[in-house]
């Protein structure tokens, strides 16, 4: 590692910010030693803020039907070979019930932009889920919608919303998306979500086609200034039935490096070690935690649909039951000295849990995040 790279890393740690061109320089000139230093500092930062707790979110993949046609995505509408499914509101609630019994207190409802889920339908699901499980947080990840729609969903009880910005460069955005999708609308959505009081998550794919170190520096600067509560990053993985089938996948190495940079930039951000990272590297999610991530998302979708929610090739966790997936991740977290936290795990500084009258142990920082997910067979009290 050059002295220059070392000084950039320490400055980032001290100031939680670098000029955009220096983010690009750090990325371009990185080496193994620089990555190790960054990971050590980022891990220390994660521990200082969250202790050894890793937040566990139950992921429910509600639909593989999508009206969009993003060039990278396996469930794009032009992929006539994709197997389509849609969970009914009853099936979604049943997944959440099972997840609740398994100890989860956050549910992430993620799906393609499926016109079936009108505001009326989706608000109904959110309302019922919150009614049945008032101690839980609901995260939505169902793409671009109108401000009115986001507002209605928020009023129905949704706490968080994930919408990756995908890239902060409008020209790069245009290379990843069909003409009818717009960068400006994406940004409008993210602004609206934040203004409406959602804990908002943005993010991007690492190594997406045509991405340059300058693009990544732009992504980092965007994240630094947008200050999301959550940030989802994972490697791009090609899908065989998309226009990007022949593009190289993103690397675990660069993904881990960027996770560390983001942790130093935003010490309190909720940062998942993603399924995509676990797909390109066998112990990728464990490595993600060691690089500064603090969230994992075991799959709670019904096993019969899991292979159908195929955003990219070779996705892991598609054969296991929810309890197996939970246990597997629990083991994996323990193997890196962490424990899975069961409370809602709001982003520090967000008060929605308090407003709802729920005492959230997780927000008392520095190791006070309590109680593990119960072992199989035991029901969480």
Q: Which two structure tokens, joined as six digits, stand for 108?
A: 């992430």
312 binds, among ligand FES, ligand 5AD, none (CB under 5 to 8 A by kind): ligand 5AD
Question: Considering only residues 72, 150, 173, 183, which one is a binding residue for ligand 5AD as defined by CB under 6 A?
Answer: 72
Tokens 């959230």 -> residue: 360
> Of 226, 233, 235, whose CA–CA distance to 187 is shortest?
226
Question: Considering only residues 54, 189, 205, 333, which one is a binding residue for ligand 5AD as defined by CB under 6 A?
Answer: 205
Binding of ligand 5AD by 276 (CB under 6 A): yes
Binding of ligand 5AD by 257 (CB under 6 A): no
Binding of ligand FES by 372 (CB under 6 A): no
Binding of ligand 5AD by 239 (CB under 6 A): yes
Nearer to ligand FES, 214 or 320 (CB): 320
Report the alpha-carbon distance of residue 55 to residue 313 in Å, rounded.
26
Please, what is the minimum distance in Å from the beta carbon of residue 51 to ligand 5AD?
Answer: 29
Spacing of C-alpha 249 from chain mean position: 19
> Of 252, 312, 243, whose CA–CA distance to 282 is shortest?
252
Residues forming beta bridges with residue 102, ordered by sequence position:
none
Question: Considering only residues 18, 82, 325, 341, which one is a binding residue for ligand FES as defined by CB under 6 A?
Answer: 325
The stretch among 125-133, 158-166, 226-234, 323-331 that binds ligand FES (CB under 6 A) is: 323-331
- What stretches of the chain show up as alpha helix (H) in DSSP? 3-15, 20-28, 32-50, 89-101, 119-132, 147-156, 170-176, 183-195, 213-226, 252-265, 275-280, 284-290, 303-306, 322-335, 352-355
276 binds, among ligand 5AD, ligand FES, none (CB under 5 to 8 A by kind): ligand 5AD
Number of residues that bind ligand FES (CB under 6 A): 7
Nearer to ligand 5AD, 234 or 362 (CB): 234
Binding of ligand FES by 328 (CB under 6 A): yes
Report the alpha-carbon distance of residue 21 to residue 47 in Å, rounded.
29
Binding of ligand FES by 320 (CB under 6 A): yes
What is the footprint of ligand FES within residues 242-271 (CB under 6 A)? none
Report the alpha-carbon distance of residue 160 to residue 193 in Å, rounded.
9
Using CB atoms within 10 Å of the CB of residue 14, give its burial: 0 to 12 exposed, 13 to 18 middle, 19+ buried. exposed
Question: Considering only residues 65, 93, 237, 325, which one is a binding residue for ligand 5AD as defined by CB under 6 A?
Answer: 237
Binding of ligand 5AD by 57 (CB under 6 A): no
Q: Which two structure tokens, joined as six digits, stand for 237?
A: 């993985």
Please, what is the minimum distance in Å from the beta carbon of residue 304 to ligand FES?
Answer: 16
**Residues near ligand 5AD, by CB under 6 A:** 72-73, 164, 166, 205, 234, 236-237, 239, 276, 311-312
């Amino acid at each position: 590692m050059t002295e220059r790279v070392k000084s950039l890393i320490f400055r980032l740690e001290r100031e939680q910010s670098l000029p955009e061109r220096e983010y690009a320089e750090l990325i371009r000139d990185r080496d193994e030693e620089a990555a190790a230093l960054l990971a050590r500092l980022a891990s220390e930062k994660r521990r200082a803020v969250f202790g050894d707790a890793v937040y566990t979110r139950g992921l429910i993949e509600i639909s593989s039907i999508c009206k969009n046609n993003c060039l990278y995505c396996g469930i794009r509408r032009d992929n006539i070979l994709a197997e389509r499914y849609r969970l009914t509101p009853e099936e979604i609630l049943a997944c959440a019930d099972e997840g609740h019994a398994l100890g989860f207190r956050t549910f992430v409802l993620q799906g393609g932009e499926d016109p079936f889920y009108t505001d009326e339908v989706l608000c109904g699901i959110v309302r019922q889920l919150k009614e049945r499980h008032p101690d839980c947080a609901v995260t939505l990840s169902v793409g671009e919608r109108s401000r009115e729609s986001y507002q209605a969903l928020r009023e129905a009880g949704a706490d968080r919303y994930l919408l990756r910005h995908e890239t902060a460069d409008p020209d790069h955005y245009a290379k990843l998306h069909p003409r009818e999708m717009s960068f400006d609308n994406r940004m409008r959505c993210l602004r609206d979500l934040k203004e409406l009081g959602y804990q908002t998550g943005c993010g991007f794919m690492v190594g997406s086609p045509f991405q340059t170190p300058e693009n990544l520096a732009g992504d980092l600067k965007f994240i630094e200034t947008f200050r999301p509560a959550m940030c989802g990053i994972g490697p791009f993985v090609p899908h065989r039935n998309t226009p990007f089938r022949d593009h190289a996948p993103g690397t675990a190495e660069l993904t881990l490096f960027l996770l560390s940079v983001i942790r130093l930039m935003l010490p309190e951000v909720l940062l998942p070690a993603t399924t995509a990272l676990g797909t390109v590297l066998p112990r990728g999610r464990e490595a993600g935690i060691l690089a500064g991530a603090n969230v994992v998302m075991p799959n709670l979708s019904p096993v019969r649909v899991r292979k159908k929610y195929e955003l990219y090739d070779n996705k892991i966790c598609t054969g296991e039951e929810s309890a197996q997936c939970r246990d597997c991740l629990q083991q994996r977290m323990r193997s890196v000295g962490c424990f899975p936290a069961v409370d809602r795990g709001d982003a520090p500084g967000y008060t929605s849990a308090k407003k709802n009258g729920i005492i959230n142990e997780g927000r008392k920082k520095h190791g006070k995040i309590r109680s593990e997910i119960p072992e199989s067979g035991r029901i969480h009290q």
